[in-house]
Amino acid sequence: MADHIPPLPTKIQLLIVSADRSLVNETVDEVEIPGYDGYFGVLPGHTPLLAVLRVGELWYRQGSDTHYLAIAFGFAEVQPDRVTILAQIAEKADEIDLARAEAAKRRAEERISSPVADMDAERARISLMKALIRLQVATRARIRS
Report helix, strand and coil shares of the chain as percent, to nearest 5: 30, 45, 30
Domain ranges of the chain: 12-94, 97-144
Q: So what's the pLDDT on residue 111?
A: 86
Q: Which CATH architecture has domain 97-144?
A: Up-down Bundle (1.20)
Please tell us whether the domain made up of 12-94 is placed in CATH 2.60.15.10: yes
In the predicted structure, residue 37 carries a pLDDT above the cut 90: yes
Answer with the residue of higher pLDDT: 59 or 117.
59
List the beta strands (DSSP E) in the chain.
Answer: 12-17, 22-28, 30-35, 38-42, 49-53, 56-62, 65-79, 82-92
The pLDDT of 52-74, averaged and rounded, is 96
Q: So what's the pLDDT on residue 118?
A: 73
Instruction: Specify the 3-state DSSP secondary structure of 54.
Output: coil
Q: So what's the pLDDT on residue 1?
A: 53
Closest listed residue to residue 58, CA positions, set 104, 12, 105, 103: 12
Residues facing 52 on adjacent strands:
75
